[in-house]
A and B are shown apart, each in its own frame.
Chain A
Amino acid sequence: MEFGGERVLDGINLYFNDKEFLTLLGPSGCGKTTTLRIIGGFLQPTSGKVLFDGKSINDVPPYQRQINTVFQRYALFPHLNVYDNIAFGLKVAKLPKEEIHQRVDEMLGVVGLKGYEHRRIDALSGGQQQRVAIARALVNRPKVLLLDEPLAALDLRLRKDMQNELKRIQQVMGITFVYVTHDQEEALSMSDTVVVMDKGRIQQIGRPEDIYNEPKNAFVADFIGESNILDGVMLADYKVKFFGRTFKCLDAGFAPNEPVDVVIRPEDIDFVPPEEGHLTGTVTSVTFKGLNYDIIVDFKGFKWLIQTTDYQPEGATVGIRLNPEDIHIMHKSEYSGMFGDYSSYSAEYDELTEDAEDEEE
């Protein structure tokens, strides 16, 4: 897919299974919305094919596809009330009045908006508008429902509620959901399959657990949760060397002495007394996060983030042990060296990037 000569999607090859909850996850501008718009038929790919039940639908306009969309800011029709918004697709399809009435009524029940039929759209809260948008799409009984950051405009509490709600609706209706988000937590908690995208390319496809536990490269490791990413060398199968020490690990199949990226999740690290540790370092900062402390530890000039309930004061010398299952090995990629160093870590950092992402499109 190209825009004005610029390649925005490259080598996207995706399968959607029936009744699957699939999420396209990635930062702003990674091409996830573009992918969705191609599936919906609003954009023509410059090359490549979109298949639906094995048939190419490249030339099928959006209004003839058995696909419906929940748009980013809902795009409800302001001149129609709740009932007429939901009935819109059915009326265009010229279904009999009784059937329209019965199906709209049923949908109102599914999204919990019974009694709101005659409300104006601008008299609804954000969460309610969201439900109308979902009902308006689902009432047409599409085979696939596309959702473009449907929860981005809601506040945190409502977002959590709607996540459960969406998952429930997907299971009740038994149709394929293709969900776009930049929120990794949302992706992990709702999806059957997560597709991590960046720079118009798919970085990894897998179940949420696999994506989290076995990230394919430094980008995925950093984007999904927090990661310490170190340079290492794979000495042999199950043996990796970093920081001048050899560690046992669970990974195999690398070339002998292949340089690799080593990922260690901050929550997998346990403190031990310095003399028992594989590595020793100095605590340089401690932030209380509620559930845990975010502790930055300096190991020979490389700063690690460690998430633990075990308080350590600033300036303390600590030791850590790394078990084989805590160490994950990845091939080197174009992202190596870009992520996973917490030298410039500050507590506000997270919030700043989140705000920036919210401004997408």
Chain B
Amino acid sequence: MKKFNRVVTVLIFLFLYAPMLVLLIASFNVGKDITEFEGFTLMRYVEVFQDRSMLTMLGNSILVSVLASAIATVFGTFSAVGIYNLKPRMRKAVMSLTNIPMTNPDIVTGISLSLLFVFVGSKLLGQKESLTFWTLLIAHITFNLPYVILNVMPKLQQMNPALTDAAMDLGCTPLQSFFKVTLYEIMPGIISGAIMAFTMSLDDFVISYFVTGLDFITLPVEIYNYTKKQLEPKLYAMFIMMFLLILVLMIVMNLLQVRQDKQKKRREGR
């Protein structure tokens, strides 16, 4: 049984990472054909940085992701605090409401947001081009919010409620006690929420595809347009670099988690 488990585990990992492996090899290939490895080269990586339009798209993607995740983190944190202060039954109801958009199919979210933006933009504001950078940003903030709330809420629940009482006892107004005490206690949740929101934003294609205009295109959308023609090998290098970026962020998140657990253990050990 133990042997069987081990074999299955290996197979699962192989299955999960085989596509990345193929991509990795392809990104170092001299030839254009994936079926034949003609020789090792780093040229593809160099090509990525020589492609102006691709760099612009990458810049667009990062700009939207950073802005959207930062704004969503601020709003998400405050709404988590607001939800936490509701009565328990109300809190549960609101939490399920904020969780639904996460499970909603992206394509539904994307199309419905797009319809909303076009309706508001052309009908109410009389714009010609209603889908722009701003609609893209709003859409990203929208789908990022639940991830931030979901990460911050458990930290609020784990926090010793006497801490805010203590802060007020020592002269803090409720707002001061939030910035001087609560914020420090829930910071790990805020950071992991922000990282998660950033990665969600960075790799979102479906929603972005429906809500962005022609003048502002993110990398995933642009890559989708590439795939209509023949795939260029420099894309493989691009993918590998994106994969590595996300990987690094994930590792940072996990390290933060480990450090926190250690601190918690030390506190409880006393």
Contacts and interface: CB of A to CB of B under 8 A. Distances in A.
B172 interface: yes
Contacts of A68: 169-170
B165 A75 contact: yes
Contacts of B170: 63, 68, 88-89, 92, 136-137, 140
17 contacts: A42-B165, A61-B173, A62-B169, A63-B168, A68-B170, A75-B166, A76-B166, A77-B163, A77-B167, A78-B184, A79-B181, A79-B185, A88-B167, A92-B170, A122-B263, A136-B170, A140-B170
Interface in B155-183: 160, 162-163, 165-173, 176, 180-181
Contacts of A126: 270
Interface residues of B, number: 21
A271 interface: no
Contacts of A67: 169
A92 B162 contact: no
- Most chain A CB within 10 A, of B165, B166, B185, is at B166
A123 to B, nearest CB: 8
Interface of A: 40, 42, 61-64, 67-69, 71-73, 75-79, 88-89, 92-93, 122, 124-126, 136-137, 140
Contacts of A61: 168, 173
Nearest to B165: A42
Nearest to B266: A122
B267 interface: yes
A67 B169 CA distance: 8
A64 B160 CA distance: 22
B181 A77 contact: yes
Contacts of A136: 170
The 5 closest A-B pairs by CB, nearest first: A89-B170, A75-B162, A79-B184, A75-B166, A92-B171
Contacts of B168: 42, 61-63
- Most chain B CB within 10 A, of A64, A76, A122, is at A122
A61 B167 CA distance: 12
A88 B172 CA distance: 9
A77 B171 CA distance: 14
Contact of B267 (A75, A78, A88): A78
A93 B171 contact: yes
Given A61-B168, A92-B176, A92-B180, A125 B270 contact: yes
Nearest to B176: A92
B267 A122 contact: yes
A72 B270 contact: no
